[in-house]
């Protein structure tokens, strides 16, 4: 359970930073634009949720933390990538430490069974990868796909999508 709490703390920090808005006169914000992303969650081929969004934030510095939120904020994905260049980053297996050249995700959604009564459902990776297409100091983009088990019911879900965001 300890890795869940650590990843949740990182996600909360990333979401807090994502809520900070840049000054409209900031030239970097004007030159890099806004973020976009998409997520599709399936279970046994059945679509559980699917959306496109402009609520995407990337935080750089020794790697990338990418947060993708649905417009209604009922679904949230945090991807952590431990690399600074374009390439493929495999998701770590359950219980594995996040090392260089790896990635991890935490998906929280009201479309999943609750982790605990009154909370959102949580999905952690079992397999998959992030394909980082753009990796610069000002922009981060790529695709991801993988499977994960729900923390409550143990069912396997497939998660895939895209992200493209200015880097804070």
Beta bridge partners of 56: 68
Predicted model pTM: 0.81
- pLDDT tens digits for 140-162? 999 999 999 887 888 999 999 99
- pLDDT tens digits for 14-59? 443 343 333 333 334 434 578 999 999 999 999 999 999 999 999 9
Largest CA distance in the chain: 48
Task: Classify strands 75-81 and 87-90 as parallel, antiparallel or unpaired.
Answer: unpaired
Burial 105-134 (b: 16+ CB within 10 A, else e): bbbbbebbeebeeeebbbbbbeebbbebee
- pLDDT tens digits for 54-111? 999 999 999 999 999 999 999 999 999 999 999 999 999 888 999 999 999 999 999 9
Q: In a 10 Å sphere around its CB, with 0-12 CB exposed, 13-18 middle and 19+ buried, how is residue 73 labelled? A: exposed
Token reading at 93: 């297996």
Q: What is the three-class DSSP state of 115? A: coil
Query: Residue 124: pLDDT band by 50, 70, 90 thresholds?
Result: confident
């Amino acid at each position: 359970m300890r890795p869940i709490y650590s990843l949740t703390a990182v996600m909360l920090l990333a979401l807090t930073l994502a809520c900070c808005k840049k000054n409209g006169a900031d030239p970097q914000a004007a030159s890099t634009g806004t973020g976009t992303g998409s997520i599709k969650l399936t279970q046994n081929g059945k679509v559980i949720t699917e959306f496109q969004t402009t609520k995407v934030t990337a935080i750089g510095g020794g790697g990338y933390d990418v947060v993708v939120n649905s417009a209604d904020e009922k679904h949230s994905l945090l991807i952590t990538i431990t690399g600074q260049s374009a390439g493929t980053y495999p998701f770590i297996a359950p219980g594995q430490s996040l090392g260089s050249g790896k990635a991890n995700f935490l998906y929280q959604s009201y479309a999943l069974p609750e982790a605990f009564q009154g909370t959102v459902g949580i999905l952690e990776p079992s397999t998959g990868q992030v394909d980082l297409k753009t990796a610069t100091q000002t922009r981060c983009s790529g695709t991801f796909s993988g499977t994960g088990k729900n923390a409550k019911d143990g069912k396997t879900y497939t998660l895939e999508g895209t992200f493209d965001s200015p880097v804070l």
